[in-house]
Amino acid sequence: MRKLIEGSMAVSESVRLCRPHVIAAYPITPQTHIVEFLSQMVADGDLKSEFINVESEFGAASVVLGASAVGARAYSATTSQGLLLMSEVIYNIAGMRLPLVITIANRSVSAPISIWNDHSDVVVLRDSGLITLFAENAQELMDIHPQAYKIAENPEVSLPVSVNMDGFILTHAFEPVEMLDQKFVDEFLPPFEPVHKLDVENPITMGLLAEPTWYMETRYKLKETMEDAIPIIENVAEEFKEKTGRWFGGLIDTYRMEDAEIAIVGMGSLIGTLKDVVDTLRAKGEKVGVLKIRSFRPFPKEKIREICSEINQLVVFDKSYSLGLGTILQEELRACFYRQKHQPLVSGFVVGLGGRDIPPQSIIDCYNETKGKEILDEFVDINEEAVGRR
């Protein structure tokens, strides 16, 4: 069934079909619609979950941690400052190998305070053990949550998974969405069987102190698990495609990359814009395609090298910036090719910080400017006069 719904409703409906036992969340723009819809579903009896209105995002993450630890399927959603407040707990959830899903309505980070979209929030957690997936549109948001739970709860993984969606651009926009139904999701996503849980019949201890003799081993196992998750993410997306015919990528996705010499790279809703840009450029005879990074963590290095084996240049558009280093996705892609046989040029542009509009023409201008040479750290469409560059 096809319905015209808001992105946040696509998320809520998808999460409802996953039958979470416990939902804990704290309101923060632009995540609010998701948890409002979910709490209404609980209030109407359409979703049988314990919905916990917590006192902070720190509390939200801690509540879902506790729920997952007794073997309950748990869900939360947040963004920006809320995610930063959760960050201590997210590291902990991953370190304790507790699977759950959290939707992040990506938003910039204060100061200055801004409620609008970029990716500055989730990139902060790139080293935390949180599997980080980016969705492109409302349909993918509908489709990705059962996949996210299936990845998280795979006993070889048993880690938290975040589904990232651009704040306002996806949370508040209405799009036609092919709805999933309960029967399909129940078949696709089996009940949660935890690898370890708090149980009076088998009273284990969780969350121990690791002295220097043990800490490195626990981190090694996490490293190994993140690597193990790579084929699992891909397989889950493949299985979903087999059953629905829909495909938004596994670790990555590509658009018109078949004979491409240049790849334009991005994450999230920007992919729609990049596809339009590529159509425009292709019409002018440019050999260019889109590389969508769907799994930012684990970062699919091998897959990217494989897909870019004939690519001469990557033009990367980041919605975040690592102050004192550079654009983050660009730096990671560059590192992918270091000392490899094939080393394409890698350019990096900063776009859309704090919700700044990203007109297709700006992408085209960047493309034309950087074609054949590397440009780094360019803040696209900034007010040159205001920053004193002119």
Partner 1 sequence: MAETTKKRKPKPPVTESLLTSGHRACAGCGESLGAKLVIDAAGPNTIVTTCTGCLEVFSTPYPESAWRVPWIHSLFENSSAVAAGVEAGLKALGKKEGINVIAQGGDGGTADIGIGCLSGMLERNHEVLYVCYDNEAYMNTGVQRSGLTPFDTHTTTSPSGKKSFGNQHPKKPLLEIVAAHNIPYATSATVGYPADLQLKVKKALKEKGATFIHLHVPCPLGWVYNTELTIEIARLAVQTGLFPLVEFKWGKVTRVRKITRERKPVEEYLKHQGRYRHLFASEEGKKEIKKIQAIADANIEKYGLV
Partner 2 sequence: MSKPILITVGPGTSKVNKTGAWRTLMPVFKHDKCNDCRICVTVCPDACIFGQNNVYNANLDYCKGCGICAHECPVDDIEMVLEAK
- Partner that binds at residue 49, options partner 2, partner 1, none, CB closer than 5 to 8 Å by kind: partner 1
- Partner that binds at residue 22, options partner 2, partner 1, none, CB closer than 5 to 8 Å by kind: partner 1
- Which residue, 217 or 384, is less far from partner 2 as judged by CB? 217
> Rule CB under 8 A: is residue 22 a binding residue for partner 1?
yes
- Partner that binds at residue 155, options partner 1, partner 2, none, CB closer than 5 to 8 Å by kind: partner 2
72 and 21 Cβ atoms separated by less than 8 Å: yes
What would the two tokens of residue 61 be? 């993450």
198 and 128 Cβ atoms separated by less than 8 Å: no
| Residue in 269, 315, 328, 316 with CA at minimum distance from that of residue 127 | 328
What span, in angstroms and rounded, lies between the C-alpha atoms of 101 and 94?
11
Q: How many CA atoms lie within 13 A of 119 on its CB side?
A: 28
- Which residue, 187 or 217, is less far from partner 1 as judged by CB? 217
Q: Find tokens 């054949």 and name the residue.
A: 372
204, 323, 386, 387: which one binds partner 1 (CB under 8 A): 204
Binding to partner 1, residues 224-253 (CB under 8 A) = none
> Nearest distance from residue 156's CB to partner 2, in Å?
7
What span, in angstroms and rounded, lies between the C-alpha atoms of 288 and 278?
6
Q: Interface with partner 2 by CB under 8 A: which residues?
A: 95-97, 155-156, 158, 195-196, 203-208, 214, 217-218, 221, 224-225
Q: What does residue 74 show for φ and ψ, rounded to 5 degrees?
A: -125, 150
Q: Let me know the angle formed at the C-alpha of 177 by 175 and 57, rounded to the nearest 5 degrees.
A: 75
> Rule CB under 8 A: is residue 68 a binding residue for partner 1?
yes
- Which residue, 174 or 220, is less far from partner 2 as judged by CB? 220
- Partner that binds at residue 182, options partner 1, partner 2, none, CB closer than 5 to 8 Å by kind: none
> Rule CB under 8 A: is residue 94 a binding residue for partner 1?
no
Binding to partner 1, residues 38-67 (CB under 8 A) = 48-50, 52-56, 58-59, 62-67
> Strand 378-379's sheet: what is its strand order?
252-255, 288-293, 262-266, 313-318, 345-350, 378-379
> Rule CB under 8 A: is residue 193 a binding residue for partner 1?
no
Query: Angle, to 10 degrees, between the axis of helix 32-43 and the axis of helix 7-17?
Result: 50
- Residues of this chain that interact with partner 1 (CB under 8 A) are 21-22, 24, 48-50, 52-56, 58-59, 62-72, 74, 88-89, 92, 96, 198-200, 202-211, 214
